[in-house]
Amino acid sequence: MSLDQLYPGETRILGHRGASAYAPMNTLPAFELAADQGADGIELDVHLSKDGALIVLHDFTVDHTTNGIGLVREMTLAELKTLDAGIKFKPTFAGTRIPTLDEVFEHVGHRFSIINVEIKSETENTDGVEQITADTIRRHNMAGKVIVSSFNPLALRRFRQIAPEVPIGYLYAPDYTFLPEIMDALPHEARHPHYSQIDAAYMTAARAAGWRVNTWTVNDPLRARELKALGVDAVITDKPDLMVEALRG
């Protein structure tokens, strides 16, 4: 699978949950601001609601970013839509709602050349999130713009079986690497390491394996320029405006 359409030769800048330093993460205002600041794309997180809706939220609970309490999987879409996903960030964002992936694609999909959809999954068995993610990507004809990532290789393996036309990337960090042996046997297009894991040797190994490298979460301009010089394919950042200035100014 070729990723040339996602990586036209320069280091991509992706808004981490949107422009999340300036607007409530994983909301339409954050995604719209990332586009306004010049980001090439966005990174976002998806879960299934109790009634099978694909919603965009980072945590497995709504407690941290909304005025509600509880597990996402135990709430219906209607219940989730009553929550305020902006007021905890700043009062001026009061009334902001948790979006669905459908809504993100509809409202801002045309503004980006790449969207990284991270499947949030901590279990060995599926709740169906991989199938619904694939269905949503196909329904909006977004396969040419999307890369799907996860910390859970089992979720990536399931997604690959369902939607082999969509590239996948393996997420990991220095203190969290889950079932890497599965990824050794699973063809995949990208690796998504924490930026602290990247040096020249890492990039040499990644290129030898044929992987694109999308790294997170890069907010320091000096480090961003170092990563660009090393040849990373994308930096995922809370501050797209700073990255645009650092890498293209």
Q: What residue segments make up the domains of the chain, in order of their start?
A: 12-248
Cα–Cα separations (whole angstroms), residue 70 to 53, 73, 95, 232? 16, 9, 19, 38
Give the C-alpha separation, 238 to 8, whole Å.
Answer: 22
> Could you give the CA distance from residue 15 to residue 8 in angstroms, rounded to a whole number?
18
Say if residues 169 and 116 touch (Cβ distance below 8 Å): yes
pLDDT, position 5: 80
Residue 249's pLDDT is what? 83
Decide: 222 and 243 in contact? Cβ < 8 Å.
Answer: no
pLDDT of 45 reads: 98
β-strand pairing of 41-48 with 54-56: antiparallel
Least confident of 137-141, 143-147, 173-177, 214-218: 173-177
Mark 212-241 as b/e (b = at least 16 C-beta within 10 Å): bbbbbbbbebebbeebbebebbbbbbbbbb
Q: What is the mean pLDDT of the chain?
A: 97
* Active-site residue flag, 64: no
To the question of pTM greater than 0.95 for the whole model, the response is: yes
Amino acid at 79: E
pLDDT tens for residues 87-135?
A: 999 999 999 999 999 999 999 999 999 999 999 998 899 999 999 999 9
Of the pLDDT bands very low, low, confident and very high (cuts 50, 70, 90), residue 2 is low
Given this model, what pLDDT does residue 72 score? 98
C-beta separation of 26 from 45 below 8 A: yes
Six token digits for residue 110: 């045309």
Token code pair at residue 227: 């990563």
Identity of the amino acid at 161: Q
Q: In the structure encoding, which two tokens stand for residue 125, read together?
A: 């068995």
Which helix or strand (DSSP H or E) is residue 244 part of?
helix 240-248
Catalytic residue among 16, 47, 188, 192: 16
Length of the chain: 249
How far is residue 108 from each of residues 48, 79, 105, 115, measured CA to CA in Å?
21, 24, 6, 10
Does residue 16 carry a catalytic annotation?
yes
Q: Which of 114, 86, 117 is nearest to 100 (CA)?
A: 117
Query: pLDDT tens-digit profile of 170-228?
Result: 999 999 998 999 999 999 999 999 999 999 999 999 999 999 999 999 999 999 999 99
Q: Among 30-44, 133-147, 172-186, whose mean pLDDT is lowest? A: 172-186
Confidence category of residue 14, pLDDT binned at 50, 70, 90: very high
Q: Pick 12-248's CATH classification: 2.60.40.10, 3.40.50.2300, 1.10.3720.10, 3.20.20.190.
A: 3.20.20.190
Whole-number pLDDT of residue 129: 97
Burial of 141 (0-12, 13-18, 19+ CB in 10 A): exposed
